[in-house]
Structure 1
């Protein structure tokens, strides 16, 4: 690396290695830069950034500077920087606003090490737009869909969908500021909110080409209006909640509040059984949960409410029940739940290992399913199974006996509900349920 020699006020000479200079810049180019940033640009041997920013400061650069466009090549930037530093070259990376706010800065620090990076942050574009609006922004949730094309949002989209984090931010915050990209546009955000039946919960403001001479800020617009429009790039979106956040029941939702297939009493884990089963799962705020044989979805959906930082994977073989789960999901205000139509164990290999697994239906393959679930259960996790037949209870017990490192127990739960008779009340019994809980034996020496 190039050595830079400096002399302080006491006359002490020190030498330090050159670092990669990661400089924040705004759309107005040189006007947004400090003198320190300008000095670094004037000595740069390698300049890395987007073409629009490199062109904006062309007059500051040496004639022999090498310019490298990182559009679509972000993963290659650390290698470019490292190679140049090893050749004692001065490297500058240009990033929008504050490089550590949804920018390339944190990526480069992680890859190169903080000792190889020096950051000169600029204003974030959110600071600029909130200053234009005269609004305090310390309580704003900052989100981003800036990057590759996520595709349109749909109900029950896979967990890896690029807009899922933004949707969760919208569910849990009153004001959100979001970086966009040409493909992941304001209209796409509006379409997502409409798909999730949230179009009446927010107003949107779009700020385009901030700090440029043709800067534009819209008024506060309805979601349905934004769906129909396109806006100049680059832009960002402010989402302001106009209806209170829905205050959902976390556990013990009334049976009648779920859509359910009803050949008899309804194919649903009843409220009281559901509450006990969820308690046996030993859920935490970040638990990864499996719901196998999801039925109407009640167990998995309530688990998702109880694990806001976790994820729930569900599977249901019956097509009619699968459609009912989607309807229950649509009214649940959840972003951490995903259900698939299929027969377990098909597809389970693609799921994350679980902290809690619930089996409500096995499709006639109970022994193999228990063995698979135990092999995919994280240390400290719990497997819970509900049965209404003695035969399935016996199969489960005999299977669990084969695992010497697993401890288990079961309870018999009999619930009766009051029913009116004339001016009095009687009790009407629900089907009795066996609930088995299984987990790995704890090592008392290691916790």
Structure 2
């Protein structure tokens, strides 16, 4: 390697380290878009790290004797390469696209390099450039990256490991995403797949789509004003970014305590739904945080799980329901609320939920005769500090649950909800009582004894 710098760079304090890592943002116009300082730092670097395309774009600015390292597929090794250079007092530069601190490598290097040894010379991000091209103010925008593995097209209710999950969340009406969402695409998750996501979620009329291809290059192209359905099978030049501008405002809904009438439900005499008063207390007992993973067992109309999903915008709700008619209603309710961090399946717990991630919170609204197994599974798999809430309307089922919890030594408490709602009567109003409901809250932490595998004495339905 060539001799490292032995004097501090111009304009810096004399006690600045002799060698630094310079993280330099580059656009596709290459040297033309770099500042004089960025050009100087690249010319003085003895080791230059970047993707093959950026190394080629900046080749004319590099010292012919400098070492070039292609980071393609090796991003996690970059901090090691940089640390080696700094340890040997060798000036090093890292090339990144646009603003390295906007979904770039900047965060990784800032977290792993010694304090004071990293300097960043950013360019505008490609998302910022796209907003400039389309004359879209971006101060309130939400930025999303879909640079993830290829998970295929979006399927409603996909789990958080899907490559488009973050985008579906940003577009949902429950997250307060604002009027503009900017998307850093990838070859797998391009504009066509984003259009198909809009169609799958029924959001194609809610957003206008703008695509900027090959920004700052001779083949630059801007696309707007075309329906998502017409672009869902189109092909786009790389690289590209997408801007989604909200056309129709998301429905204004209460933050908490959604009215029962908002949910479609099977309607026996009293309606098959966790009523608002009970739902509010049950959600309070679940003590949800924004990133919680929640199980909803016996989902019914989905009312509690869907409201929980709105309270956990950085988490996910996994629901299960045995009745096919309810599954269709849940999907209708999910779309109405604009919830994307919710998935539901047909089946019975605990046998059909073995692949679910361990939960922070569990709500049991119906057990389908499997209360023993559900309790054992939930207590075994609850994460530290987790909460389990069980809902009962029958005394017999409450007694079974209390006996089971006593046998396993669980830490539990019980709340009874007795509400009444006003009804018109003879020109006035009377109070009509709702069925009393018992809610048991169980906290993880105290060891639970295995409950056994015998079936419940009778089907348990909360």
Whether TM exceeds 0.5 here: the answer is yes
> How far did 1:333 drift?
0.3
Where in structure 2 are the equivalents of 1:6-85 lying within 5 Å? 6=7, 14=15, 16-85=17-86
| 45-54 or 80-89, larger mean C-alpha shift | 80-89
Partner residue in 1 for 2:442: 438
Q: Secondary structure at the match of 1:269?
A: coil
* Residue 179 of structure 2 is aligned to residue 178 of structure 1: no
Question: How much does 1:339 deviate?
Answer: 2.1
The answer to whether the Cα contact below 8 Å between 1:4 and 1:16 also exists between their aligned partners in 2 is no
Q: 2:21–2:82: 8 Å Cα contact kept in structure 1?
A: yes
Q: 1:245 to 1:322 in 2, by over 3 A?
A: closer
Displacement of 1:323 after TM fit?
Answer: 3.9
Q: Which moved more, 1:354-363 or 1:316-325?
A: 316-325
Residue aligning to 1:445:
none
The answer as to 2:375 corresponding to 1:374 is: no
Range that drifts further, 134-143 or 83-92: 83-92
Q: What residue is the counterpart of 2:315 in the other structure?
A: 310
- TM-aligned CA distance change 1:99 to 1:416, over 3 Å: closer
- The alpha carbon displacement at 1:194 in A equals 1.2
**Aligned in 2, Cα 1:346/1:64: closer, same or farther, shift over 3 Å?**
farther
Greater alpha carbon shift after TM alignment, 299-308 vs 98-107: 299-308
User: 2:258, 2:276 within 8 Å by CA — same for their partners in 1?
Assistant: yes
**Separation in 2, partners of 1:34, 1:9:** 15
Q: CA deviation at 1:24?
A: 0.5
How far apart are the structure 1 equivalents of 2:307 and 2:136? 37
Cα shift readout 1:182-218 (whole Å, capped 9, x = no counterpart): 2211111111111111111111111111111222222
Q: CA deviation at 1:426?
A: 7.4
Aligned: 1:413 with 2:418: yes
- Cα distance in 1 between the residues matched to 2:24 and 2:121: 5
Q: Is 2:8–2:17's contact at 8 Å kept on the other side of the alignment?
A: no
Change (3 A) 1:257 1:245: closer
Q: How far apart in 2 are the matches of 1:367 and 1:139?
A: 49
Is contact 2:4-2:90 (8 Å) kept?
Answer: no
CA RMSD in angstroms, aligned pairs only: 3.2
Aligned partner of 2:250 in structure 1 is: 245
Task: Tell me how many residue pairs correspond in the alignment.
Answer: 440
Please give the per-residue CA displacement for 1:132-160, whole angstroms capped at 9, x wherever unaligned: 34443222222211343242111101122
2: distance between equivalents of 1:116 and 1:348? 48
Aligned-pair CA distance for 1:66: 3.0
Contact 2:4 2:46 in 1 (8 A): no
Deviation of the 1:285 alpha carbon:
4.1
In 2, the alpha carbon distance for the partners of 1:184 and 1:365 equals: 41
CA distance in 1, matches of 2:367, 2:410: 23
Map residues 25-424 of structure 1 onto 2, 5 A cutoff: 25-171=26-172, 172-262=177-267, 266-346=271-351, 348=353, 350-378=355-383, 381-402=386-407, 406-411=411-416, 413=418, 415=420, 418=423
Q: Distance in 2 between matches of 1:81 and 1:129?
A: 31
Higher mean displacement: 386-395 or 99-108: 386-395
Q: Report which of the two has the higher share of strand.
A: 1
Question: 2:458 maps to what in 1?
Answer: none
For structure 1, which segment, 250-259 or 18-27, has the greater mean C-alpha deviation from structure 2 after superposition? 250-259
Match of 2:460 in 1: none
Question: CA distance change for structure 1 residues 352 and 113 in 2, over 3 Å: closer, same or farther?
Answer: farther
Residues 153-191 of structure 1 show CA distances to partners (whole Å, capped at 9, x for unaligned) of 111011221212222222322011211122211111111
